[in-house]
Amino acid sequence: MTETSTPSSTPDRLPRRVRHELRFRKLQVQKLQRVTPHLIRVTLGGDELAGFTSPGFDDHAKIFFPDPKTGALVVPSVGLEGPVWPGGQKPAMRDYTPRRHDAAAGTLEIDFALHDAGPATQWAETAKPGDTLGVGGPRGSFIIPTAFDWHLLIGDDTALPAISRRLAELPAGARAVVLAEVDDEADEITFDTQAALDLQWVHRRGIEPGVGTPLLDALRKLDLPDGDFHAWVACESTAAKALRAHLVGERGANPKWIKAAGYWRLGAVATHDTHED
């Protein structure tokens, strides 16, 4: 691999943080689509979607779920120090990447990876058009430039929306290498991109998500292209940390050009970890 440039010599490759006004919205389900056996796509809409913004491909919005017994949905107001919940009662909530926002059509798509029997999966599997869902944020975005020789994207089912968005925004002439973990061939999806795409699916074959090291095993066998690259990793937290360590320690990746996150953690609930030096 060619020698890696220093971040200071390539200012166009420095990421940029953008803050957004914090808002909480009640949105209505317009459509549901079973994309794969373990992926449900929900299209949301409503007057309160006006002003929604999500410029970062791996943005996270906070999704609030109705009470499963009463169907009531509680959405907070914005206080000086963050959300203020009526009566102090917080509903079940999870972080999700907005897969696609169409301001002109007034729609927002959220993909639900069905991993467990938690509130998100329970809601997605029983939701119907007209149901209401709460959405908060995104509070901010992390804009990663595209001016690299190539791009490496690694993730499991939970990362597919962000990978889809990144591939869609890469310009013609860009090159992307993707390692994507799903259960089997039935869970593979199609990516729309103008970039030259080298895609490798990694299959669990019925093994519980988060168990074993399928993505790391696949990465160890992968011949990476020459040139400066940005690596983006999102999956189970321990796996994401190991993938980052391999890229930096064994592949000579520039740690300033890696973003690694644990979108979930085996045995824990509602976690989101960032792995850095």
Mean pLDDT of the chain: 92
pLDDT at 109: 98
pLDDT at 127: 95
What secondary structure letter does DSSP report for 219?
H
Q: Is the pTM of this model over 0.75?
A: yes
Statement: residue 4 has pLDDT above 70:
no
Average pLDDT over residues 200-223: 96
CATH number at residue 213: 3.40.50.80
5 located within any domain: no
Can you give the residue range of the structural domain that contains 70?
A: 17-140
Domain count of the fold of the chain: 2
Question: In this structure, are 152 and 267 located in the same domain?
Answer: yes
Question: In this structure, are 97 and 190 located in the same domain?
Answer: no
Question: In this structure, are 91 and 167 located in the same domain?
Answer: no
Return the C-alpha torsion angle 75, 78, 79, 85, nearest 10.
0
Place of tokens 């803050």: 19
Question: In this structure, are 187 and 227 located in the same domain?
Answer: yes
154 located within any domain: yes
Statement: residue 3 has pLDDT above 60:
no
* 150-155: strand order across its sheet: 196-203, 175-182, 150-155, 229-236, 258-264, 273-275
63 located within any domain: yes
What secondary structure letter does DSSP report for 148?
S
Average pLDDT over residues 76-99: 89
Tell me: cis bond preceding 138? Omega within 30 of 0 counts. yes
Question: In this structure, are 269 and 161 located in the same domain?
Answer: yes
Question: In this structure, are 50 and 103 located in the same domain?
Answer: yes
State pLDDT tens for residues 42-61.
999 999 999 999 999 999 99
The domain boundary residue, chosen from 86, 114, 140: 140
Each as own residue / partner, the long-range contacts of residues 242-248 (CB below 8 Å, 24 or more positions apart, any chain) are 242/213, 242/216, 243/154, 243/215, 243/216, 243/219, 244/275, 246/216, 246/219, 246/220, 247/152, 247/219
Average pLDDT over residues 25-34: 97
